Amino acid sequence: MKPENRIGIFLCECGGKISNRIDLPQVSELLRYEPWEHLGVYPYPCLAPGLEAIKQDVQAKGLNRILVGGCSSRVMKKRFTKALAPLGLERHQVEMINLKDHVAAVHEATPQELAHKAAALIAGGMASLRLLEPFEPVSLTFEGPALILGGGFSGFIAARELARHGMESVLFSKAQSPERVLDELHWTFPGCRIFCGDLADLLREVFTHPRVKVMPDQPIDYIVGGVGDYHVGLKQPDGSVTEVAGAAIITALDREYGPGNIDYIGGGERVCDLLELEEKLGAGDISPGKMVFWVNSPQHGQAAQELAAMAAWRDSLVLAREHPQVQPMVVYPANITLPLSGNDLREARTQGIGLMSYAPEVHPVVQSGFLSFVSPGDNLEHEVEWDTLVVPGAPADPVEKAQELLRWLPIYPENGGRLQKSHIKFWPDQIPDESLFFTGSAGGVCDLNEVIQQGKKAARGVLNLREKALQGKLVSPVVVHVDKDLCEGCGLCTEICPCGGIEHVKPGSGPIARETDNHLCSGGGTCAATCPYEAIKVLNNSTQQLEARLKAILSRMKENEILGFVCGWGGLASAEQAAVKGLTYPKGIYLTPVNCLGSLDPFILSMAFLNGAKGIMLAGCTPKHSCHYHYGVDHCWYRVNAMKKLLSLAGLERRRIAIGYVEVNEPESFVRMVEANMDVLDKLPPLPQDDQTKARLWAIHATLHRPRVRWVLGTSLRRPTEKEFPGSQFNAVDADETMLEVLREEFLAARIIKAISDQPLNPPGIALTMGEPVKSITPLLPDMAQEGRIKLQGWEGGYPIYGLGKK
Amino acid sequence: MSAQKTKQGKKTKEGKKAKKEKDDGLIRFKINGQPVQAREGWTILETARQNGVKIPTLCFHPAVEAIGSCRLCVVEIQQNGHTRVAASCITPVQGGVDVLTDSEEVQNVRRWVLEMLLAHCPASHQIRELAKEYGVTSTRFKTEHPEDACPRCGLCVRACDEIVGIRAISLGNRGVFKEVTAPYHQRSADCIRCGTCLYICPTGAMEQLFPQVSAP
């Protein structure tokens, strides 16, 4: 990218859809004094003739930044970037302003009025484009073995796949021999004894393969590094830590099974759970007679019941083959799908294994020697005789090892103890490669077969990364950049980051500057908005660019108009959908799409007010599950909340800023939201333009730049590991008051600085300028002087004189 | 077609070259009698739109590859005394032909298409508006599903594949049973809820279908 700015603006008529609603020649006129190299109006820039014309202009005028004023960037940007890529233009060098859906289709106003709005949005886009920065993508090396952590069974499969494809791996396992692994298998996968022969072959291959190193399981002290270069610290029994390095990490975690719910049945030895039966099978100690497997415990969910039915069926097969003195029978609830094939059913008939379903509405009753249940076929109670009654085990939490790993990897527990990779859902081309591999039944109740597939898939993923690296194509896009000089190593970003894009550091290594792993980064940007020292930057989507864009838009806005931020998912989708549906809303709202509301730095909000915005509306996804960036929209809520507190400290209306939530496919809600907010703001006067208000807005802005305030704000944000928001607010009022206290103090300090920014003053003079009583500021002054924020410049008439400079 | 504006003065460069008949890579033909120039690889629809000639479309969107499924964009192509009717969105330009976008033949085909659409997806406001624009207000075909708004043009499916790259939705079944659905009729967990299908849907049918294909 050439550092010199050469911006080309291409306005689309869209066959009249835009040009009939917006006076495009007037837009060109309004943009006359903006620094562009090319500005043209095209009938359809997106069609082949239009693209050809754009390409000619790019080549003829050497344009390196393209702004298309047309329609949705979500849908059309790919078309333009694809066409312009051969000319060396990168994705971020193409900016789209949605004139059709944000201006032309949704407002009832004259083409001249809409031209004004369109010009403002385009000027904003240009301001943002001007701040693009060149960068070189980083080529990653991918050397060393794959580290397979967690000890889940899928790890063995992954190790075998990797070994067969010539890649080394280090596998950590509690069990150190194939026999031990199989002995313990029923704890995680009950009913898999029938596969022992095949599994033993697999395990023998893994344990004896020269490319697989099986190491005893050791407590994990730390996991640092990124894709291609991970370091795992292992705690040794003597307290020391040894380090293993590897190119990739596969996390294989399984869920253990606990004892089944048999206490209420009683019956001593004759009643057991699947785990006990497995142990008896292992010992060959099986009493003859009728054995009934009763799949109960609907509280664990249908998936667990299906798994239990499967395990019961497999154990029945083992019994029928190896212990002919036993007559097994499986009694299962009718509402689950029995996962058996036609062959299995034929086998059941030949082996004499009974399969009976019961109506789940009526709980079966256990009697001595009998189990009575209601058949769904005839609604009649039936009885089966038993000599041994077997109930399934209960799916318990993921293995203990999980807790050690969760601290370091972006894997989080969901409701019900289920572990999930950071549940970020994006367009595939927004994330470079799949590089976080999480397998095993801890991610959801599943069968051994499925876990084996997961293991294979993870291995294929690792091999894919290695393949790319060998071809030199494993390139990390620079998404997030940490300024080493500004970073103080506080680690707040690592805690906040949901995607693992900010790397961890070794424990006890002190405050060192953070590194980023852009292969995992999702570009959510809440880290940048949180950093107390403003050291983090989302490259080419930075806060500085947004600031420039908003300043450009604000300078062209009228005094009764407001700023709107929409997140790139729920907010933007429903805003554009409103246009598609033909809905309209007042034209006084200037929408700016951002990736996620969580990427909005709090000082962006204060900057908008400082530059004359009358109000701000933010529309994001509904918190909890639909935010694509985990808790981004929650984080935004805290920042809006801080802004509201500061507004009321400054004596302005809190309702000048409002956040709303809207889902994709809810255009009506979006329109209602805009209309309601505009109604509220219409009743408010524009921001007063007197010096006192301006000084206060300046102080709000300065307050939100203070590391102390940003730090307190950052610590109050919800962590990705935290689960529920509404019910479990802990000390909400107290926490809020602490926050308010900090804001009040810093706001006052900022106002003092503003008061003496022009000339040094004594305390009564400062108080007079601020319009506050002297006693409210006197306690603060000596502290601020001590911190070096203001300077004591001498004494006059018994009063100290404070100023900003030395003297 | 006197009302149609012609865009001129856009291509000053090409205008300069136009005197040289050969080797400038331009293909010359006529749309409704008006001489136009195009380049190799452009379609008739693209060339017509570039020149301000209006052709209605439904299943066409510039962001995805055209498949010509709705046949609404038909034009009449006359060449050497022969004439044929083709979907302009997938027909590449050809030198020396006469393209008619509003001939009797074209109007006839378009009316048939619109009548079939009216019968097939009567619930769509957009379809009704479009039909009205071309003078079609009733249909002689039987309407089986009065609540249906989806013309099965597959634009959403192509968008999910080509723009988003996810393939969370697909066209299920064939023929008259064709429907937009998630694979295996299961609400798709792959769906990222970006809303591209909602935006691109030309008839507003996706709004009803979306909750059925996307897992929350």
Whether A784 and A695 share a structural domain: no
From A428, A461, A476, give the residue that closes a domain. A476
For position A669, what pLDDT does the model report? 95
Tell me the mean pLDDT in the region A122-140.
Answer: 89
Given CB atoms, is A438 within the 8 Å cutoff of chain B?
A: no
A56 in contact with chain B, both atoms CB, cutoff 8 A: yes
Return the CATH number at B90: 3.10.20.740
B193 touches chain A (CB under 8 A): yes
CB proximity under 8 Å: A 3-32 to B? 15
Same domain, A298 and A347: yes
CB A312 within 8 A of CB A390: yes
Q: What is the pLDDT of residues B126-166, one digit of tens each?
A: 999 999 999 999 999 999 899 999 999 999 999 999 999 98
Q: If 0-12 CB within 10 Å is exposed, 13-18 middle and 19+ buried, where does residue B171 land?
A: middle
Average pLDDT over residues B170-181: 90
Chain B touched by A666 (CB under 8 Å): no
B128 with B180, same domain: the answer is no
The CA distance from A404 to the nearest CA of chain B, in Å, is: 29
Q: Is residue A591 part of a domain?
A: yes
Domain membership of residue B86 (yes or no) is yes
Nearest CB among A75, A574, A581 relative to B196 is that of: A75
Q: Residue A724: its pLDDT value, please? A: 52
- The listed range with the strongest mean pLDDT (A263-277, B147-161, B174-188) is B147-161
Q: Taking residues A269-291, report their average pLDDT.
A: 87
Cβ count near A337 (within 10 Å): 9
What is residue A728's predicted lDDT score, i.e. its pLDDT? 53
pLDDT value of position A730: 65
For A384-430, what is each residue's pLDDT tens digit?
999 999 988 888 777 778 888 888 888 888 766 788 887 677 777 77
Q: Does A212 reside within a domain? A: yes
pLDDT band at A274, cuts 50/70/90? confident
Q: Mean pLDDT score of chain A, rounded to an integer?
A: 90
Of A46, A425, A573, the CB nearest to B198: A573
Residues A658 and A619 in one domain: yes
Got the DSSP string for A76-92? Answer: HHHHHHHHHGGGT--GG
Query: Could you tell me if B207 and B164 lie in one domain?
Result: yes
Is B93 part of any domain?
yes
Rounded mean pLDDT, A16-41: 94
B135 and B167 belong to one structural domain: no
A571/A698 same-domain check:
yes
The whole-number average pLDDT for the span A74-87 is 94
Specify the CATH number for the domain of residue A703: 3.40.50
Number of structural domains in chain A: 4
| Residue B3 counted as domain residue | no
φ, ψ at A397 (rounded to 5°): -70, 165
Q: Tell me, rounded to whole angstroms, the distance of Cα A674 from its chain centroid.
A: 27
Given a cut of 90, whether residue B17 has pLDDT beyond it is no
> Do the domain assignments include residue B8?
no
What's the total number of domains in chain B?
3
Asked whether residue A553 is assigned to any structural domain, the reply reads no
Same domain, A569 and A698: yes
Percent of chain A with pLDDT over 90: 58
A69 within domain boundaries:
no
Residues A470 and A562 in one domain: no
pLDDT of residue A629: 85
Best A14, A41, A72, A74 residue to mutate vs chain B (most B CBs within 10 Å): A74
Mean pLDDT of A284-311: 88
Query: Based on the domain organization, do B96 and B30 belong to the same domain?
Result: yes
Interface A-B: count of C-beta contacts within 8 A: 104
Structural domain boundaries enclosing A774: 756-803
Give the pLDDT score at A589: 95
Find all residues with CB under 8 Å of B3, minimum gap 6, and list them: none
Q: Is B199 on the interface with A (CB under 8 A)?
A: yes
* pLDDT for the residue numbered B16: 46
pLDDT by residue (tens digit) across A773-792?
999 998 999 999 998 899 98
Residue B150 included in any domain: no
Count Cβ atoms below 10 Å from residue A613 Cβ, excluding itself: 23
Complex-level ipTM beyond the 0.90 threshold: no
Please check the confidence at residue A455 and state whether its pLDDT lies above 80: yes
Decide if pLDDT at B8 tops 80: no
Burial class (CB in 10 A: 0-12, 13-18, 19+), B188: buried
The mean pLDDT of A294-319, rounded to a whole number, is 88
Q: Which residues from A are below 8 Å from B50, CB to CB?
A: 43-44, 47, 49-50
Structural domain range at position B118:
103-145
Do B140 and B189 lie in a common domain?
A: no
B204 falls within a domain? yes
Same domain? A646 vs A664: yes
Question: Is A577 close to B41, i.e. CB distance below 8 A?
Answer: no
CATH number at residue A404: 3.50.50.60
Please indicate, yes or no, whether residues A213 and A341 belong to a single structural domain of this protein.
no
- Statement to judge: residues A248 and A307 lie in one domain: no
- Does residue A348 sit in the same domain as residue A420? no
E-strand stretches of A651-714: 657-661
Is the pLDDT at A1 greater than 70? The verdict is no
Question: Which pLDDT score, from 0 to 100, does residue A399 have?
Answer: 78
- Contact call for A74 and B216, based on CB within 8 A: no
For residue B190, the domain's CATH number is 3.30.70.20
Q: Which of B54, B73, B198 to mutate to test the interface with A (most CBs of A within 10 A)?
A: B198
CB-based contact (8 Å) between A44 and chain B? yes
> What is the distance between the alpha carbons of residues A177 and A184, in angstroms, rounded to a whole number?
11
In a domain, B70, yes or no: yes
Looking at the structure, tell me whether residues A411 and A289 fall in a common domain.
no
Average pLDDT over residues B29-44: 94
Of A49, A76, A577, the CB nearest to B198: A577
In a domain, B10, yes or no: no
- Looking at the structure, do residues A446 and A381 belong to the same domain, yes or no? no
Q: What percent of chain A shows pLDDT beyond 70?
A: 97
Q: What is the pLDDT of residue A519?
A: 84
Q: Per-residue confidence at A2, pLDDT binned at 50, 70, 90?
A: very low
What are the residues whose beta carbons fall under 8 Å from the beta carbon of A606, sequence distance 6 or more? A643, A646, A697, A700, A701, A703, A704
What is the secondary structure of A699-729 as a DSSP string?
A: HHHHHHH-HHHHHHHHHTSPPTT---SSTT-
Q: Are residues B86 and B33 in the same domain?
A: yes
A426 and chain B: CB distance < 8 Å anywhere?
Answer: yes
B92 and B120 belong to one structural domain: no
Tens-place pLDDT, residues B96-123: 999 999 999 999 999 999 999 999 999 9
What's the Cα-to-Cα distance from B168 to each of A11, A227, A377, A423, B158, rounded to whole Å? 33, 28, 38, 17, 10
**How far apart, in whole angstroms, are the C-alpha atoms of residue A479 and residue A542?**
10
Q: Within this chain, do residues B30 and B94 fall inside the same structural domain, yes or no?
A: yes
- Distance CA(A772)–CA(A754), nearest Å, equals 14
Distance from CA of A46 to the nearest CA of B (A): 6
